[in-house]
Amino acid sequence: MRATLTGSPTIRPRSSPVPSSDSAVPSPSGKAATGLALALIGAIAFSGKAIIVKLAYRYGVDAVTLLMYRMLFAMPIFAAMGWWASRGKPPLSRRDWLGIAWLGVTGYYLASFLDFAGLAYITASLERLILYLNPTLVVLLGWLLYRRSIRRGQVLGMAISYCGVVLVFGHEASLQGKDVAWGVLLVFLSAVSYAVYLVYSGEMVRRVGSLRLVGLATTVACVCCIAQFVVLRPLSAALVAPEVLGLSVLNAVFCTAVPVLLVMMAIERIGAGAAAQAGMIGPLSTILMGVWLLGEPFTLWVAAGTALVVAGIFVFTRMRA
């Protein structure tokens, strides 16, 4: 008997045959293939978010309004997710609700707003490369806050990946000017914000559960994004092109809610490590969609920078304990 990720034991079959139940149990290879496919689709769907945001910006909408519509359409899905995961569970304490609210504001609302704002100044490819540095930021925060050790191999991986981002950033800055630096800073702060969420969410996940936490914390973030629009923009700003509404629905469903579920299902089947490795397709899919849908240039600088970032994160994750 061995424990699975879901906490339920897997019992090895006894020597005496069981006539019909074996055929109903999926083979390990089939389960792994399904998990890998879910992880790949989830990573590609996540990477489409930046493409949709860049397409919406072509219709003259700003980050505050666009983020409001994305979260408005996503809120029912995440609220339902939080309700579903809460069924049969003990009610949350006041401390739990405060923790969920804090994580929703710092981890989802702030990270989303900074990301959307940064995409107004940089390409989708560079944005995805910066966000892909997130595992390194989590480790760096662990070292700063908790004095957790960092292996030499991890330092090497971080150095390689950050060199890749600097390479692409330098190329974009030479073509588009100083605004690129502002966009890079905003997206990097978005990555830091989400890394803070990951560092501090460990205890909450153990108490509340991952699906319940994601559903409730993201619902809090949705409320914050809608409230931000009400405070900062006149209601007339909600009158946008129909294309913006369609892109926002697409973003909310297929690039926000669905990927969360797909990646969670993948982790249950193949584990967090394998799912993270499959996520390496994210930057590559963003670049391909950026070239295809946005007409972004694909140069040797972008190719070299992407290769460095992916290789660096691969080395980094392989060196983790």
pLDDT band at 284 (very low <50, low <70, confident <90, very high): confident
Average per-residue pLDDT in the chain? Answer: 86
pLDDT at 27 (0 to 100): 63
Contact of 56 with 204, CB cutoff 8 Å:
no
pLDDT band at 23 (very low <50, low <70, confident <90, very high): very low
Residues 219-228: pLDDT tens digits?
999 999 999 9
Q: Residue 293 to residues 210, 252, 258, 314: CA-CA distances in angstroms?
A: 34, 19, 21, 28
pLDDT at 18 (0 to 100): 45
Residues 66-75: pLDDT tens digits?
999 999 999 9
Query: Exposed (0-12), middle (13-18) or buried (19+): which is 44, by Cβ within 10 Å?
Result: buried
Percentage helix, strand, coil, to 5, in the chain?
80, 0, 20
pTM beyond 0.75, yes or no: yes
How many angstroms separate the first and last alpha carbons of the chain?
25
Average pLDDT rounded to a whole number, residues 30-48: 88
Residue indicated by tokens 């892909």: 132
Looking at residue 7, the DSSP 8-state letter turns out to be: S
